[in-house]
Amino acid sequence: MRVVVFALAVVSPLAAATLEIEAKLLQATPTPEAEQVAPYPRALCTYLYQVRKVHAGSYADDKILVVKWAVWKKARLERLPSEIGSIERLNLDRWIDHPEFVRERIVDAIGEKDLVIYYDGGSKPAAGESPPAGRGKESAGVVVRGGSAGWLFLADELRHVGTGRFWEKDWKEVSRAGVDPLPAMLDFQRRLAALETKLLIVPVPAKVGIYPERLGKNIKVEPQAAFLQRLQDAGLNVLDLEPVFAEHRKDPANRPLYLAQDSHWSPEGCRVAAAAISRRLKNCVRNSSTRIRMVPNQGMEIRGDLARMAGDTGLPKELVTLDRVSYGDDGPVVGWSDPASPIVLLGDSHVTVFSEGTEELHGAGGGLPDYLLMQFGYPMDVVASHGDGVHQARVNLYRRGALNPQASGYWENKQWVIWVFAAREFTRAERWSTKVPVVPPPKN
């Protein structure tokens, strides 16, 4: 059975916020290993139950889909239910009532997309609870130490780079999904075109492709230009950031485009990418608000996701200098996003790092949405799925525009979808489906 990893946002019209039920376990998603969800330190799994009795709250269906914490602090939780047919007493909240988890990794092997999702808060380890056995082993095969001191790389990205000219090989051999991603991208563009919305694809280059010498001497990385040209020849609108980043690197006074200890680009990478996107979409730019300004040369210290996974407590924190976007007297705005925006910013955690406001994603005011706002003068509508920016991100976009009762007319003014995801997903994504809708099919 293929296990699909995704982040989920669901809208529900139900009035009951909490439930206490007696339920029988019908199906359980196998608990993943920590490396399956790396570089993220936590993940939840889905469980399908048959509702036997409702003790508190209101629930009409006979089945219910529940998410429980399965990976915590980079280690599997071993006390999860697995015996099919077992009876449990569950205290549940609606998933949508926990916006702090909206982009957490969820591993799902059940696929009951039409059921409202509930969250089992009792599955979260208590504060001070001892780490699960085996903590720390998960970094093997996930983090690769570079030849330059303090530089770390995501092993999965190196596997992608190691395929070389992957587009000239058998997709079943070089791709985790086993398929050419081109049909899925063309299908997505076709669906958007039917809504008079354009698509711009912005693959984030591999860190080792921009800084090969940081991994080791004589490292050579195949440029992605030939593959991206193949996509453009097929009719896709693609922005190749590699030459833009290469030009930026020529000046040694420029700030690094990637974080040494993290799998993401730096605020400087976000800023340079935002400027390149703005040049491509120049007709969408308008004058910026006077309340929005840039505060230059702000320093901060971070511990990157790769450093946390490596577990090297002797590695000093990384110093990052950024020009932080300030929103008037209120300072940085966490999760700055507007569903009414004419531009959708879609993708993985590259669109939320330094913008979402969490400690793990390094705060706010220095991410791609912030710098795009400076370029365009208005916020994007940010739709992200951490760890799966090519499939589940599109599913989340569908839910945002089609299943949200507050999103009537969502697509009426949308001009562009800017699709930003790690280039490694061309070979490392779990799925490149051609069956992800953008709007519901017409009723007969």
What tens digit of pLDDT does each residue of 101-123 get? 767 777 777 867 667 789 999 88
The pLDDT of residue 359 is: 82
Residue 440 lies in a domain: no
Residues 11 and 92 in one domain: yes
d(CA 357, CA 319): 18
Please provide the average confidence, as pLDDT, over all residues in the chain. Answer: 86
Burial track 390-413 (b if 16+ CB lie within 10 A, e otherwise): bbbbbbbbbbbbeeeeeeeebbee
Answer whether residue 75 shows pLDDT above 80: yes
> Are 275 and 383 members of one domain?
yes
Same domain membership, residue 285 and residue 241? yes
pLDDT of residue 33: 79
Q: Which one of 58, 88, 123 terminates a domain? A: 123
Q: Name the least confident of 170-174, 213-217, 333-337.
A: 333-337
Mean pLDDT of 237-254: 97
Output the pLDDT for position 180: 98
Mean pLDDT of 59-71: 91
In this prediction, residue 274 carries a pLDDT of 97
Q: Are residues 12 and 146 in the same domain?
A: no
State yes or no: pLDDT of 66 exceeds 70: yes
Kindly state whether residues 109 and 198 are assigned to the same domain: no
Over residues 39-63, the mean pLDDT reads 89
pLDDT of residue 378: 86
Residue 48 CA to residue 112 CA, distance in Å, equals 8
In this structure, is residue 209 part of a structural domain?
yes
State the pLDDT at residue 338: 84
Alpha helices in 18-83 (DSSP H): none
pTM of the model: 0.81
Name 76's bridge partners: 71
How many domains does the chain fold into?
Answer: 2
> Looking at residue 395, what is its pLDDT?
80
Range scoring the smallest mean pLDDT among 317-321, 380-384, 403-407: 403-407
pLDDT of residue 353: 94
User: pLDDT (tens digit, 9 = 90+) per residue, 330-356?
Assistant: 555 555 678 889 999 999 999 999 998
Q: Tell me which residue range forms the domain holding 373.
A: 141-428
Give me the pLDDT at residue 312, please. 72
Is pLDDT at 13 greater than 50 in this prediction? Answer: no
- Close Cβ partners of 78 (under 8 Å, ≥ 6 residues apart): 31, 132, 133
Residue 437 in any domain: the answer is no
Q: How far apart are CA 222 and CA 209, in angstroms?
A: 8
What is the residue-wise DSSP string for 208-257? HHH-GGGT-TT-----SHHHHHHHHHTT--B---HHHHHHHHTSTTSPPS
Q: Are residues 241 and 156 in the same domain?
A: yes
Same domain, 217 and 250: yes
pLDDT at 290: 56
Q: Which residues fall within 8 angstroms of residue 128, CB to CB, at 6 or more apart?
A: none
Q: Are residues 421 and 275 in the same domain?
A: yes
Q: Which two tokens stand for residue 228?
A: 């991206």
CA 129, chain centre distance (Å): 28
Separation of alpha carbons 9 and 98, rounded Å = 10
CA torsion sign, 375 to 242 to 166 to 144?
negative
Residues 195 and 335 in one domain: yes
Residue 269 lies in a domain: yes
Is 352 within 8 Å of 384 (Cβ atoms)?
A: yes
| 267-319 tens-digit pLDDT | 999 999 999 999 999 877 776 555 778 889 999 999 999 998 887 767 899 99
Whether residues 84 and 151 share a domain: the answer is no
